[in-house]
Amino acid sequence: MNFNKTLLPLESALEELRGFATPLLGVERVNTFDLDNRVLREDVTSELNVPPCDNSAMDGYALRFEDISEDGGTLKVTQRIAAGSSGHSISAGEAARIFTGAPIPQGANAVVIQEDCESAGEDLVRVRTSVKKGQSIRLMGEDIARGEVVLKSGIVLSPATLGMAASLGRSDLLVSLRPKVALFSTGDELVMPGELAPAEMGIGKIYNSNRFFLKALLIRAGCIVTDMGNIPDDRAATIESLSVASQNHDLILTSGGVSVGEEDHIKPSVQALGELHQWALAIKPGKPFAYGRLKTSQNPRAPHTHFIGLPGNPVSSYITFLLLVKPFLSFLQGVVQVQYNHLPMQANFDWTKADKRREFLRVRHNAQGTLDLFSNQSSGVLTSVVWGDGVVDNPPGQTIKAGDIVQYIPFEGWSR
């Protein structure tokens, strides 16, 4: 798309990326211990009931509720049942000392917590309260029934879902392959920290911050990252670097070099190796964005290598990664549903500078439970992302007054 044409809405760009992102070929079976943040590629069906039997939800006494009046009653304690053991049936007038997780003995239909009981002599317990049938009993299969699909293919595994899989006896699971991503920077003005001291930085030189946060974001998105360094502003060097990376990576990600300047060589270099779609997005920050595909015959995981070019300004690069690259990586891994998690929150600021583009304003929670706005919303001010804990998704042409309800997307809760 030519940058002089109509700006492309975010949803349209995301839908186009979804169409390009065919899930990677192949899956792998991995130990459940090592699967946090991986994408499940099989339905997990339970082969057992959870709980496997009726069991006690509390420490106390298992008994027949019929033996207890509204004022309580006294019963004979005939057995002690701990978790992992089994007892024998109880009869009228009897109770069993029971502990959390222990199976309910035959004949019992209620558990009274130990705080509502007291000793009434040797092998006797006095219940000081009325009893309801079924109280404090966890029924067999009330959490999960045998044959139930508990985890569906296409979800991102979390600590909770891994615990669930383990509770069903699953020592390993089938998951998507992790995308292999080659990370580049472009621009002769970029200097890596450690190469020059601050006092030695020449005019026009800047430290390369994008490489650092993009690598971290890629790893958090479940990728295997190869840092390919900085591509100099040279056409031949750019083509060579992209060609080498395309042979053993699923995605090449660059920041900078996707505008229309004379020294931006990404566009012709990608076109020389494949195809490129160059978009002007209707968002702020983050207008220039490019997607392409490089032909390769050496990657068994995909028929081509994807290319994404992000804008060079750090905040623009950061936000467009969250908005578009992160969902794209999820599509590659077979995630079924990707969405932005909007939370309605009250603004504690005025925003009078409505823009024709959809804005993502950096904000953070305050002690009153409302949102404060960072004072400088420039796309080059990385401090706004460090200070903030999320963004307000503000529609085009929309002003904001303190007290208005706005749509907040937390950084840490960004959906994948």
How many domains is the chain built from?
4
Residues 64 and 33 in one domain: no
Residue 22 covered by a domain? yes
How many CA atoms are closer than 13 Å to the CA of 298, on its beta-carbon side?
7
Residue 2 covered by a domain? no
- Contact by Cβ (8 Å): 88, 105: yes
Tokens of 135: 């109280």
Residues 291 and 349 in one domain: no
Choosing from 313, 332, 351, the residue where a domain stops is 332
Count, residues in the chain: 416
Tokens of 257: 């070099």
Choosing from 270, 300, 332, the residue where a domain stops is 332
Residue 215 covered by a domain? yes
Distance, in Å, from the CA atom of 150 to the CA atom of 162, rounded to the nearest integer, reads 11
Residues 296 and 189 in one domain: yes
Residue 3 covered by a domain? no
End-to-end CA distance of the chain: 27
User: Which CATH number characterizes residue 122's domain?
Assistant: 2.170.190.11
Residues 156 and 251 in one domain: no
Residue 203 covered by a domain? yes
Choose among 182, 183, 200: nearest CA to 191: 200
Residue 4 covered by a domain? no
Residue 307 covered by a domain? yes
Element (H, E) at 254: strand 251-255
Residue located via tokens 């937390």 = 410
Residue 249 covered by a domain? yes
Distance, in Å, from the CA atom of 289 to the CA atom of 283, rounded to the nearest integer, reads 11
Distance, in Å, from the CA atom of 14 to the CA atom of 10, rounded to the nearest integer, reads 6
User: Which CATH number characterizes residue 168's domain?
Assistant: 3.90.105.10
Residue-wise pLDDT tens for the chain (416 aa)?
344 458 999 999 999 999 999 899 889 999 999 999 999 999 999 999 999 999 999 999 999 999 999 999 999 999 999 999 989 999 999 999 999 999 999 999 999 999 999 999 899 999 999 999 999 999 999 999 999 999 999 999 999 999 999 999 999 999 999 999 999 887 767 777 777 788 877 887 776 788 999 999 999 999 999 999 888 778 898 899 999 999 889 999 998 876 655 456 888 899 999 999 989 999 999 999 999 999 876 777 778 899 999 988 899 999 999 999 999 999 999 997 788 889 999 999 999 999 999 999 999 999 999 999 999 999 989 999 999 999 999 999 999 999 999 999 999 877 55
Relative orientation angle of helices 235-246 and 266-273, to the nearest 10 degrees: 50
Residue 358 lies in domain: 343-410
Residues 380 and 257 in one domain: no
